[in-house]
């Protein structure tokens, strides 16, 4: 396999606030190859969106934000690159789709103007040529009568159409990396599937690397090749979708999987939830950040409250950060987790 | 869009008509009801009964109120005669009557004063709008920085200091001490554009200081809101240069409240900036109206009132239309 298009190594993002230092992302590493999709899952406040904004260079660097580690886009480190360089890459080599297309599109400019603008920042073409390109893009993402819809404003589009327009804008410069931050969360269930299909088609056509940020494991199962489970800004588990869904290793992943509603299976008990709430990122618990909410912390030994677990391979290409001994995890998974699903 | 504009204009005409009824009641019905005969005001010092009777007849004060209002309204559109039996005078449209004090048509006084007021308010508006909005944007972008804090202090001072203080201070410095502009007086734009601007400059500065703070603060608050919007993040994610992100994507929606306030302020300013005109000795609408009030010159007071109301109402119509131009979501379909 060729070198990964995006390599993230030991990425840390810290915000200095009046209440203390927020460790939003802490020691994150992963790769994304072209034509592959990495799903990043976790609860709200686990650092998913902060990671994506860091890759895009959208955090205002300064006294309050510090970013450490490496973000290598096609070999070029974005953390140390000048902001002008990152801006030039933004929109062209890497693009982003946001959660709520109604608020992410500008209400006072037409959809066409917004796509034309995205294209013309990176290409020296006439307005007319860019407009033709915008119509092609709308057609590509499945908007009927594209040249007429160019002159519509976002509020004249339906929710699904808006997200299609957003995707058209994001792919206008054929980016090699597409970051989708909860792209289907604000949409109707029926529209969600269409948008995911569209993203899959575009990925196939343009060999795009996709980072899919979501709290919805169903979306990851649908579109992802690899999955990264984040908790409190740290990686809990990382592996292929097939491995992680078939043999989840981390108690947090178990919790996430068990809290998914499934219609294809009879269930005899109530939907399980993970007790407690994610920690404040200013006072992340010592040791394993998940241990205060972990049902198996007694079996993990005293180190779980003091020593941060290393991310180790449970199987080739499948890493987990947990103090539970491997055989204990296997037993619990066989007895409690897999039967419940 | 045309229907929208026409609808707003019709509404404006109705409101203007109501204002004219109200003004008529206030200036001609109420004084009489209180035993203050307008004819006595017109007739001058210790008039004899015959003069009063003549004036009453000339102004039509002996007729019913409805009749009097009707003559007034007709006068505005087609002109009217004032007839006391002995002398007869024609007041051409738009007739707002004759001044009690100098017998000049009210309309011609307004027409003479309007360029002064328009020069003063438009020039000041350009100044407070550009400086206020741009410093507001800069404050929002560098929030909490040195510029932001200095701008906050300066605008607080500007809004707190009265015109008759800043105006006199400025006059003292530029005219009497440094002799940069000697003998500040109004020069018509058509006569000499350079002198026009040069003489108005101190008044523009003084008047702007008063308004600038509002625009600075409003722009700052509004920009801080829009800079946090998702669509501004999208603009950055496209790779747009920061000046496009701020000057186009964040500033345009931030302008909506500014357009509202500007419309209202301009409407009021066109009614006359009384203190500024007084301080600099310009004969604008403000100076005329304050003189008219002091001398109980009813037709002039009423004329200037209606004229000012006309501008406030028109400014509001323009604000509504500007909304529709700026924001497609309020545009009627």
**Which DSSP string do the residues of B265-293 spell out, in sequence order?**
HHHHHHT--HHHHHHHT--SHHHHHHHHH
Q: Determine the average pLDDT of the residues in B131-151.
A: 94
Q: Is the pLDDT of residue B288 over 60?
A: yes
What is the per-residue pLDDT for A265? Answer: 64
Q: Is the pLDDT of residue A189 over 90?
A: no
What is the per-residue pLDDT for A267? Answer: 61
Q: Tell me which residue in A92, A98, A155 faces B234 most closely, judged by beta carbons.
A: A98
Cα separation, A154 vs A280, whole angstroms: 36
Nearest to A213 by CA among A175, A259, A257, A178: A178
Q: Determine the average pLDDT of the residues in A30-52.
A: 93
Nearest to B151 by CA among B91, B95, B212: B212
**How many beta-carbon pairs below 8 A join chains A and B?**
65
Asked if residue A69 lies in contact with residue B210, where contact means CB atoms within 8 angstroms, the answer is no
pLDDT in tens, A106-145: 999 999 999 999 999 999 999 999 999 999 999 999 999 9
Structure tokens at A42: 């976790």
Contact A122 B234 (CB under 8 A): no
What is the per-residue pLDDT for B231? Answer: 96
What is the per-residue pLDDT for A60? Answer: 78
Nearest to A108 by CA among B256, B63, B157, B86: B256
Cα separation, B120 vs B115, whole angstroms: 8
Structure tokens at A26: 């802490």
Q: Determine the average pLDDT of the residues in A278-304.
A: 90
Q: What ranges make up the beta strands (E) of chain B?
A: 80-83, 88-91
Q: Tell me which residue in A87, A90, A106 faces B231 most closely, judged by beta carbons.
A: A106
Cα separation, A287 vs A291, whole angstroms: 8
Nearest to A211 by CA among A3, A66, A4, A45: A4
Least confident of A160-169, A207-216, B30-39, B68-77: B30-39
- Choice between A88 and B38, residue whose per-residue pLDDT is larger: A88
Contact A121 B238 (CB under 8 A): yes
A6 vs A73, A138, B26, CA distance in Å?
5, 28, 77
Provide the 8-state DSSP code for A184: T
Q: Is the pLDDT of residue A276 over 90?
A: no
A268 falls in which pLDDT band (50, 70, 90)?
Answer: low
Q: Determine the average pLDDT of the residues in B272-292.
A: 90
Cα separation, A311 vs B273, whole angstroms: 73
Nearest to B64 by CA among B99, B24, B15, B92: B24
Q: What is the nearest CA distance from B17 to chain A, expressed in angstroms?
A: 36
Cα separation, A121 vs A169, whole angstroms: 12
What is the per-residue pLDDT for B57? Answer: 82
B332 falls in which pLDDT band (50, 70, 90)?
Answer: low
Nearest to A31 by CA among A241, A221, A209, A214: A209
pLDDT in tens, B204-223: 999 999 899 899 999 999 99
pLDDT in tens, B3-23: 888 988 999 999 999 999 999
- Chain B residue set in contact with A, beta carbons under 8 Å: 229-231, 233-241, 249, 252-253, 326-329
Nearest to B162 by CA among B219, B209, B115: B209
- Choice between B131 and A43, residue whose per-residue pLDDT is larger: B131
Q: Is the pLDDT of residue B271 over 70?
A: yes
Report which listed range, A229-243, B61-75, B183-197, is most confident. Answer: A229-243
Contact B238 A117 (CB under 8 A): yes
Contact A58 B233 (CB under 8 A): yes
ipTM attached to this prediction = 0.90
Q: Which residues of A touch B249 (CB under 8 A)?
A: 106
């Amino acid at each position: 396999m060729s070198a990964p298009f995006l390599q993230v190594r030991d990425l840390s993002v810290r915000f200095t606030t009046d209440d203390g230092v927020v460790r939003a992302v802490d020691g994150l590493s992963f790769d994304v190859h072209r034509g592959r999709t990495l799903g990043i899952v976790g609860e709200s406040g686990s650092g998913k969106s902060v990671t994506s904004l860091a890759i895009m260079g959208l955090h205002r660097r300064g006294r309050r934000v510090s970013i450490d580690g490496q973000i290598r886009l096609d070999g070029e480190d974005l953390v140390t690159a000048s902001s002008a360089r990152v801006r030039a890459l933004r929109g062209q080599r890497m693009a982003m789709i946001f959660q709520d297309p109604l608020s992410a599109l500008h209400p006072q400019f037409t959809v066409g103007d917004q796509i034309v603008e995205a294209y013309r920042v990176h290409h020296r073409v006439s307005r007319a040529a860019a407009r033709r390109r915008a119509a092609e893009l709308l057609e590509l993402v499945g908007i009927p009568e594209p040249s007429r819809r160019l002159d519509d404003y976002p509020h004249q589009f339906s929710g699904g159409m808006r997200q299609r327009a957003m995707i058209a804008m994001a792919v206008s410069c054929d980016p090699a990396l597409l970051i989708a931050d909860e792209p289907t969360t604000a949409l109707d269930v029926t529209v969600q599937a269409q948008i995911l299909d569209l993203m899959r088609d575009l990925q196939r056509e343009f060999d795009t690397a996709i980072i899919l940020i979501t709290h919805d494991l169903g979306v990851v199962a649908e579109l992802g090749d690899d999955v990264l489970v984040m908790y409190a800004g740290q990686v809990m588990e990382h592996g292929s979708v097939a491995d992680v869904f078939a043999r989840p290793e981390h108690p947090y992943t178990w919790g996430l999987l068990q809290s998914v509603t499934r219609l294809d299976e009879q269930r005899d008990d109530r939907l399980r939830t993970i007790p407690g709430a994610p920690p404040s990122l200013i006072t992340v618990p010592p040791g394993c950040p998940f241990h205060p909410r972990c049902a198996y912390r007694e079996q993990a030994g005293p180190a779980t409250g003091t020593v941060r677990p290393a991310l180790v391979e449970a199987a080739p290409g499948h890493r987990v950060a947990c103090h539970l001994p491997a055989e204990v995890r296997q037993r619990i998974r066989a007895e409690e987790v897999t039967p419940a699903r | 869009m045309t229907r929208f504009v026409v609808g707003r204009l019709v509404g404006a005409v109705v409101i203007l008509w109501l204002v004219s009824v109200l003004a008529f009641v206030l200036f001609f019905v109420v004084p009489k009801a209180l035993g203050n005969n307008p004819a006595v005001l017109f007739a001058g010092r210790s008039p004899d009964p015959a003069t009063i009777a003549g004036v009453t007849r000339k102004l039509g004060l002996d007729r019913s109120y409805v009749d009097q209002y009707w003559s007034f309204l007709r006068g505005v559109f087609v002109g009217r005669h004032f007839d006391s039996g002995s002398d007869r005078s024609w007041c051409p449209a738009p007739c707002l009557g004759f001044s009690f004090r100098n017998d000049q048509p009210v309309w011609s006084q307004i027409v003479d004063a309007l360029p002064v007021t328009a020069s003063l308010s438009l020039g000041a508006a350009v100044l407070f709008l550009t400086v206020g909005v741009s410093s507001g944007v800069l404050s929002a972008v560098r929030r909490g920085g040195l510029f932001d804090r200095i701008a906050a202090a300066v605008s607080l001072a500007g809004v707190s200091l009265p015109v008759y203080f800043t105006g006199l201070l400025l006059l003292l410095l530029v005219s009497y001490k440094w002799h940069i502009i000697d003998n500040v007086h109004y020069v018509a734009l058509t006569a000499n554009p350079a002198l026009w601007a040069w003489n108005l400059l101190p008044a523009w500065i003084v008047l702007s200081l008063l308004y600038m703070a509002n625009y600075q603060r409003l722009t700052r608050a509004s920009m801080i809101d829009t800079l946090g919007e998702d669509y501004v993040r999208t603009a950055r994610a496209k790779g747009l240069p920061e000046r496009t992100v701020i000057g186009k994507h964040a500033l345009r929606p931030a302008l909506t409240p500014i357009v509202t306030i500007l419309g209202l302020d301009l409407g009021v300013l066109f009614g006359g900036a009384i203190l500024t005109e007084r301080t600099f000795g310009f004969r604008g609408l403000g100076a005329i109206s304050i003189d008219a009030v002091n001398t109980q010159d009813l037709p002039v007071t009423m004329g200037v009132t209606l004229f000012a109301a006309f501008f406030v109402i028109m400014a509001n119509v323009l604000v509504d239309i500007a909304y529709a131009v700026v924001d497609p979501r309020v545009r009627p379909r």
